[in-house]
Structure 1
Amino acid sequence: MVAFGTAMIANERLERQLDDFDRGRRSEALTQLWRAAERGEDVLAASGADVNLHAHTFFSYNAYGYSPSKFAWLARKAGLAVAGIVDFDVLDGVDEFFDAGRLIGLKCCAGLESRVFVPEFATLEINSPGEPGVAYNMGVGFPRAASHPFLAEMRAAAKKRTRGIIERVNAYLDPVKLDFDTDVAPLTPSGNATERHLCEAYERKAADVFPDAARRAAFWTERLGGAPSESAKLQGLIRAKTMKQGGVGYVAPDRGSFPEMAKMNRFVAEAGAIPTVAWLDGASEGERRMDEFVDIAIASGAAALNVIPDRNYTPGKPESKLKNLYEVVALAERRGFPVIAGTEMNAPGQKFVDSFSSAELKPLAPMFLRSAHIVCAHTVLQRELGLGYLSPWAKASFSSIATKNEFFAAAGRALRPGGEKRLSVIDASTSPKQLLASLE
């Protein structure tokens, strides 16, 4: 019993080390944790039916500080059938996440999220509240980290926006002022600071400037109209009052503020991933016209839909958002779109995985699992063979989207993490039936 307790303490230390900004220390910790699990010193759940394909990591913003390796490890412990990361504007964590998945036997996929301009909906609010014409947009199933001019443009534009926000908010929150290099950059391993990093940094800086809690609360009340004692609520208030529409740090985007959706979708496809429509909750004018919006997205290559289920229902309470969720999933099924589902964990209190056994989500869970297998299979087949979901091979091999989805779902179920060597004898002349048989 003493030895088991000692092992647990050691494993907890190693789990904390998984969030170290040093890649080598993260890799060392994961290797030791896996060895301990193989010795029976940690309990890993059997693979089940739950998925999370939208977890942010500390390369953009994870409220719990999770690295790609940490999320992979926790997903493996929880028995997720498929796990996926999605970072904002960067692919910095992709290769690490795949390496972790191969080591610990986790089915993986990876994506990227950003904001784009949709000229056809220029006057309509879509899924970025208060910003007509601007939409969150995604790519899923990246086979590896990509080096592409579009990524460099996104990183540069994001850094410029972030520095501009700091300049404007500093003037308003003076004497609580941030220096990007000193106060913000150290919060993320590769300098990709987001608005959420700024909120965390302003909270920390206020504690330095006003060590007295009462004086600090008075400052926040004066500047923000309130001073929540809970960190998550305070950071949310900072963001809402200073960085979102109506705040001093906010600048309304115009057509040149973000790349057009078609340009981002071209990049995603060129990188071997699947351009993906992001959906919020169906409440905006733009999202009430989803069929039209999806037509526009398809014209530039979109072939999947992303949803965040946990945002769209309150357990036990029927509401319009849940109805909207079912309607958009039905739309995706009519179009043959895989539906990517997951929780972001980019704010404190968000779940690690959705409650797929709940009455509200249980009817949708099989669709989410099937879609996760599709993206997982695409990822591996595109990376190893160039035979992904949107590849010339796929276009030539399937007579319909339905038969293509059936194949990739079956391939995703059959794939085993780390089993890529089995694919070495396959090439573009292989039929889907032959390829699937080689996996089973």
Structure 2
Amino acid sequence: MNKLESYIEQLNAPAKADRLAALQNIADMFKSGEIPMPERNEDTNNHVHTTYSFSPYSPAKGVYMAYMSGLRTVGIVDHDAINGADEFIKAGEILGITTTIGMEIRVNFESVGYKGINLNNPDQPGTAYITFQGVPHDSIEKLDKWLGENVRKYRHIRNRKMVENINGLVNKLGVSLDYDKDVLPSSMAHDGGGVTERHILFALTHKLMEKYTTGEAMLSFFEDDMGITVKESAKKLILDRDCPIYDYDVLNLLKSEFVAKMFVPATDELVDVKEAVRFAKEIGAIPSICYLGDVGDSVTGDKKAQKFEDEILDDYIPVIKEIGFEALAYMPSRNTDAQIARIDALCRKYDFLQISGEDINQPRQKFVCMKLREPGFKHLEDATWALVGHEYAATEDKEAGIYSDKTKAAFPNMEDRIAAFKEIGLKYRR
């Protein structure tokens, strides 16, 4: 292992100080000319998960991967957690890449008339994923406290029940999972990180890999023991036992086909949507609804074909606006051109900021969304710089944010607001 490889490996070290020190060493190698700098483009990605939710990448390594991919800006969005933000910001400063800060939670939509209706959560009707985007830096600590008290505390209780359900399915096969010994150590729960279904299933993955040491044996577990019909594309991955990221391929199949067998519906950890939006605005963040859209063939291999918001979208978006959401977040590579055109028209009609990003939580995913390089997507790049502008402006003064009454009075039209905040954001272009 050479010096650079050693530093890259240290980007996922247990201690934040060691991760940032390794990143600084890499930055010094760039500056000295010891290693070539990557070609930088104007690509942006506002939806990168880190080890503070589930990801192969620490905040420092996530920023490094974004930089090496040529991104101009990169945004952290962790499930139920914001404590990776400080490291993410510092990493951006070290490498010279603009960052944005956010987090993602599931909220309860039953109080606004959506009980039993599929929104954007494949696992539970009546609930939806939302994000807080452009979190002011001086609000990170307050947001972490809110998440700990209202979400993570209750999430652990539900997680333990899901582990019990898994054991009920696999104990008879000689496989056993322990939440404290197997799941928590793979997370950043000790530092305010979220613990997700993926953590549980990743721990199960490694237990299964210990027992089923060939691809054929693993495939037999899914097909014969669990009664799961495995698609040919996934079957090829499961049979390739020598793949260096084999555990993530097993995880994807578990996430797609196994969750329903162990899932426990969320209750106490689900903040009411109105309260979540209220709190987002209290801390100066942009409350954003996530759009999934009906899924045909899952791009990432971790979702079944399923219907979501598309059939109700024309009625749903006005409700979202009335609740107080200010933005809509989506992933262009996962949607059809028709879905994107429809979302774009609705966002313009209801004055929503459009936030784009590619969900990064596994090594096969690319940081660059090639779709954004196509004609007609320049507005998403502009919106990203406006998001950057909001984050820094709101850090200085919450009333200076993109959706404050003061700002809306000065710029009633969203396009004018985006132009004004893009100008602010570009001051932080690195």
TM over 0.5, shorter chain: yes
In structure 2, stretches of 5+ residues that fail to align are 229-234, 241-245, 296-306
**8 Å Cα contact 1:56-1:86 kept in structure 2:** yes
CA–CA distance in 2 between the matches of 1:252 and 1:180? Answer: 18
User: Relative to 1, partners in 2 of residues 1:242 and 1:76: Cα closer, same or farther, differing over 3 Å?
Assistant: closer
Give TM-score, length-normalised by structure 1: 0.82
Q: Does 1:400 align with 2:413?
A: yes
Alignment correspondent of 2:299: none
Aligned Cα root-mean-square deviation (Å) = 2.4
Q: Which amino acid aligns with 1:308?
A: M
- Deviation of residue 212 (structure 1)? 6.8
In the TM superposition, residue 397 of structure 1 has moved relative to its aligned partner by 3.1
Q: Name which of 130, 153, 157 aligns with 1:156.
A: 153
- Are 1:82 and 1:106, in contact at CA under 8 Å, matched by a contact in 2? yes
Aligned to 1:306: 329
Q: Which has the larger radius of gyration?
A: 1
Given candidates 233, 252, 258, the residue that maps to 1:236 is: 252
**Which residue does the alignment assign to 1:390?**
403
Aligned residue number for residue 374 of structure 1? 386
Q: 1:239 to 1:45 in 2, by over 3 A?
A: closer
Which letter does structure 2 place at the counterpart of 1:185?
L
- 1:402, CA displacement in angstroms? 2.9
The total of aligned residue pairs comes to 393
Which AA in structure 1 matches 2:8? E
- Contact map agreement 1:86 1:112 (CA 8 A) in 2: yes
Match of 2:428 in 1: 415
Question: Partners of 1:130 and 1:193 in 2: how far apart?
Answer: 16
Give distance in 2, aligned partners of 1:217 and 1:132: 30
2:361 to 304, 329, 346: 346
Match of 2:231 in 1: none
Q: Distance in 2 between matches of 1:364 and 1:162?
A: 42
- Are 2:214 and 2:239, in contact at CA under 8 Å, matched by a contact in 1? no
Distance 1:290 1:376 in 2: 28
Q: Is the 8 A contact 1:138 1:275 kept in 2?
A: yes
Shift of 1:382: 1.2
- Tell me the TM-score normalised to structure 2 length: 0.84
How much does 1:36 deviate? 1.1
1:414/1:216 Cα in 2 relative to 1: closer, same or farther (>3 Å)? closer
d(CA) in 2 for partners of 1:51 and 1:172?
42
What percentage of residue pairs aligned between the two structures are identical? Answer: 27
Which residue in the other structure is 1:185 paired with? 184
Deviation (angstroms), 1:239: 2.9
Q: Which amino acid aligns with 1:88?
A: H
- Residue number in structure 2 paired with 1:258: 270
Q: CA deviation at 1:242?
A: 3.1
Instruction: Give the equivalent residue in structure 2 for 1:315.
Output: none
For residues 251-330 of structure 1, what are the structure 2 equivalents within 5 Å?
251-252=264-265, 258-282=270-294, 284=307, 286-312=309-335, 321-330=336-345
Which stretch shifts more, 91-100 or 337-346?
Answer: 337-346
| Compared CA separation, residues 156 and 103, structure 1 to 2 (3 A) | same
User: Runs ≥4 in structure 1, deviation > 6 angstroms?
Assistant: none
Cα distance in 2 between the residues matched to 1:408 and 1:388: 9
Matches within 5 A, 1:162-181: 162-174=159-171, 175-181=174-180
Structure 1 unaligned residues grouped into runs of 5+: 1-5, 313-320, 418-440
Once residues 369 and 259 of structure 1 are traced to their aligned partners in structure 2, the CA distance between those partners, rounded to angstroms, is 31
Structure 1 position 346, deviation (Å) = 1.9
Partner of 2:301: none
> Structure 2 residue aligned with 1:33, among 6, 22, 26?
26
CA distance in 1, matches of 2:416, 2:35: 41
